[in-house]
Structure formats: structure tokens, C-alpha cells
Amino acid sequence: MASLNAFLKDADERVRKAAADALNEAAEQVQQQIKSNMDAQGIQNRTGQLQRSIKITKATPKRLSCKIKSEVFKAAPKKPGSRNPAMRGRYKYGVPYGRLIEFSPRINKPFFYNAWYKLRNTVKKEVMEAIGDAWNG
């Protein structure tokens, strides 16, 4: 399967702009679904920074890709290795607790991937429609 950049490399600026706009709109929908999932899981009460940390790197006509990131780190202990020797030096800024909440067998409150799995077919359809409309008209 070819990437969107490879597929639209010879397309005119109008088609690439329509694709970028569709990707950005879809990324915002996924971001809202992520936050909704966090509310449903009760995550906002425990980690207020996590919801604010969800950022989108927007697509441009030259670079047709979006990234949705959520990296909040629990502060590392003042004395390195004082809490858990196995974690010493593993992460530069501390422990990424968004990943722990998402994937930990003990906590297991998925929010990020559930949003993507729920919306990925819709995102694909909307981007394809936007490209088709721009290409035809």
C-alpha cells in the first residue's frame, strides 16, 4: 500500500490542500474522541496534564501526514534509583504515564487506540472523498 504522499506526488496543489485539510479535520475528530474516552475512563480526575498534552502535528500540502501525540512524564525521583532501580536511566524525563495508563495490565484504561480503532474507517472514507471531490472539481 502506497503512502498518501506517494499517491499524490504528482497531484496539483488544490488536491494536496484538500487532502491536508481532510487529514487535519479527521485528526481533530480523533483528538475529541480520545478526550471523550478519557472522560469515560475517569482519567481526567487523576492526570489533568494528560488531556492537555494531546497535540496534533498538522498536515500541510507538502507533508501529508498528521501525528497525534500525548507524552506526559511523571517526574523522576530526586535521588535516581531511589524508588525503582529497574527504571533508573530508562526514560530521560521520567515515566510516560499515558502509556502506563493505556497499556498497563494493572490499570488498563485504553483511550488512545480505542479512539483510532473506532474512527479509522471514517477517517479513510472522508479523506478519500475529499481527494476525489478536489480531483474531479
| Mean pLDDT score of the chain | 81
For the chain, give the percent of residues with pLDDT over 90.
36
62 in a domain, yes or no?
Answer: yes
119 in a domain, yes or no?
Answer: yes
pLDDT of residue 48: 61
Q: Of residues 13 and 102, which shows the higher confidence score?
A: 13
The grid coordinates listed for 29 are 475528530
Q: Which one, of 29, 21, 22, 90, lies nearest residue 54 by Cα?
A: 29
* Cα(49)–Cα(113) distance, integer angstroms: 19
43 in a domain, yes or no?
Answer: yes
125 in a domain, yes or no?
Answer: yes
Tally of domains in the chain: 1
Flag whether pLDDT at 22 surpasses 90: yes
29 in a domain, yes or no?
Answer: yes
Q: Of 2-6, 48-52, 107-111, 133-137, which range is least confident?
A: 48-52
Range of the domain at 51: 20-71+109-136
